[in-house]
Amino acid sequence: MIYFENYSVMWNKAQCRHILLPGLFLLTSLYSSAGRAELPADNIFSRVEQLAREQLAQQAASAGLLEPQFQVTVVKSTRPVPACAAPVALETADSRSAQRMRFVAVCPGSNGWRYEMLARGSITAQVAVTSVPVTANTPLQAGDVTLARRDVTMVPDSIASLPGAVGLSSRRSLRAGEVLRQGQLASPVLIKRGSAVNIVARKEQVEVSMAGEAMDPGALGEVIRVRNATSGTVIRARVVDAGVVEPAELPGR
């Protein structure tokens, strides 16, 4: 029995369902619509920031960076993010440059939209730097380099380990504290063109050496042309030390 002021009315179960169910359906519809409402703009910006960080992490992993850290700023436009009745999807448009990563927020559906967003990122990492001034074309010693945190956003060829730099020489003079780059380092020339070399051939327990003349300059591991001083035969030989080469190809090797 349901009471209205001074009146009483007796309803059966069927009548209650007929009156109450439409109201419940309306409330459920309103709740569902609210659940499908567009994510707040701030949430979309935070998702873009997270996506940008993931892109930077992938780049750092590919470059083999040591202890990378990231900073990301999402550029907020004065144009507001439009309303969307469905969850907004994010797409990566271009992440090649950490300082200018472009993303697109997509509202699906026939009345959907695309909203371009820009994120600016930076990367710091532990990299090899000079600890003292270094002269050009001088092999780096262990005491010449150290690890330090530097901004490597615009340095795609930094070196993440000290052993990877020791023994190499810089093509130009460097100040203390400069980031070492793979592109500016080279193996020192151990053999000059026209210099006398010792050709050493090893096979199992047998070692044979003979005199030769270098026809090309060569750094450690490089293959150069060498003339046998006795026979005059020109062979291809690999530089193994200062003034020492070994045949690049040995029969039966």
Residues pairing with 75 in the sheet: 118
Residues 234, 213 contacting (CB under 8 angstroms): no
Task: Catalogue all structural domains in the chain, each as residue range(s) with its CATH number.
Answer: 41-124 (no CATH), 128-186 (3.90.1210.10), 189-247 (2.30.30.760)
Residues 142, 165 contacting (CB under 8 angstroms): no
Percent of the chain clearing pLDDT 90 (strictly above): 64
Q: What is the pTM of this model?
A: 0.64
The rounded distance, in Å, linking the Cα atoms of 158 and 152 is: 7
R_g of the chain, CA atoms, integer Å: 35
Is the pLDDT score of 219 beyond 90?
Answer: no
Q: Of 7-16, 33-42, 161-170, which one has max mean pLDDT?
A: 161-170
What are the counts of helices (DSSP H) followed by strands (DSSP E) for the chain? 2, 16
State pLDDT tens for residues 36-71.
444 455 588 999 999 999 999 999 999 999 999 999
Residues 161, 145 contacting (CB under 8 angstroms): no
The rounded distance, in Å, linking the Cα atoms of 180 and 127 is: 8
